[in-house]
Each structure stands twice: as C-alpha cells, then as structure tokens.
Amino acid sequence: MSYDLMLQTVGDIAPQSFEAIQHDLQSNATLQRLCEVTPGTLAPSAVDVVVLGEGLDLGDFTEREFSEFCSSRGLPADRQHEGAAAAFLRSRLGFSIASFGLPSSDQDARAAYAELVQIALRYGLRVTDPQKGDDVDLRNPGSLPPMW
C-alpha cells in the first residue's frame, strides 16, 4: 500500500511558475528515485466542470460568486465551460502541482517527505495528505507524514 501526498498551490499560479516547479520536481533526484510522481496539468478538463457543479450544488460556492468571478475576468459564467470552471476553482482551492506515492521504507519515506516539505516551503505551496484529509503543518511537519 502506498502513502500518497499531493503538492498543491494555495490559489492560482502563473504558467511560468508552474513550469519552473515542474522542472525542479523532474530534476530532483531524490523524489524521482524514491517516489511514484504524477505531474499535474494546467489544462482545464471536464473534471473541473464536475467539481464546480458539485460545489455549487452543495453550497460550497454560490452562483453569484461564480458569476462575479467570471465577469471580472471576462469569462463566460457558464457551469459547463471548462476554462471558467478551472479558473474559478483554482482561485478558491488551488490545484495539484503533482502527486507522490511515497516509498514503503521509513528511511526512504523520510528522505522523500523532507524533500517535499522543502519544495513546498520554497515555492509557497502546501502538502496535502489525503489519508489525514488535511494539509500538513509545514511549520511543524515532523519527519514522516502525520498518518504514517
């Protein structure tokens, strides 16, 4: 069983910053050697439309917030528009830079986890721990993820 972590933005991110982080991840020998790395993508997708729809239906966001956001950026206030959905969600939730399957040994997991924490701090990102259901406290991350 793999322990998964995600490196995510706090809000939206400029394409050049996204590319710089991706380059650093691809050239990080420790992470490439120890982890299963799945890079994120900037391209909007149908998943953004689904997540937006669920958020609107569940009350996480309002139609008014979505409409005002779209209007201020010249985007169509259409729930089905992938670009508008992606831009809105990124502004509110951030998005995944990459996901990581940590190695199973404690020693290797510690090394990979320390690298992820340092990258997150360097770029002002967050490390999300799906097993915990929350972000890692980067001020006090410990030597292994919280639910390890």
- Domain with 3 in it: what CATH number? 3.30.70
**Co-location of 148 and 105 in the same domain:** yes
**Co-location of 35 and 67 in the same domain:** no
Whole-number mean pLDDT of the chain? 95
- Which residue, 142, 124, 96, is CA-closest to 4? 96
Of the pLDDT bands very low, low, confident and very high (cuts 50, 70, 90), residue 136 is very high
Over residues 104-119, the mean pLDDT reads 96
Over residues 56-66, the mean pLDDT reads 96
Over residues 54-71, the mean pLDDT reads 96
**Co-location of 72 and 85 in the same domain:** yes
- pLDDT for 12: 87
Q: Which of 92, 108, 124 is the last residue of a domain?
A: 92
**Co-location of 146 and 110 in the same domain:** yes
Of the pLDDT bands very low, low, confident and very high (cuts 50, 70, 90), residue 1 is low
pLDDT at 117 over 90: yes
**Co-location of 57 and 26 in the same domain:** no
**Co-location of 146 and 135 in the same domain:** yes
Structure tokens at 17: 């910053």
Angstrom distance (rounded) from CA 88 to CA 72: 11
- pLDDT for 2: 81
- How much helix, strand and coil, in percent to the nearest 5, is found in the chain? 50, 15, 35
In this prediction the pTM is 0.84
**Co-location of 82 and 99 in the same domain:** no
**Co-location of 55 and 118 in the same domain:** no
Count of domains observed in the chain: 2
Residue 47, domain extent: 43-92
**Co-location of 104 and 140 in the same domain:** yes
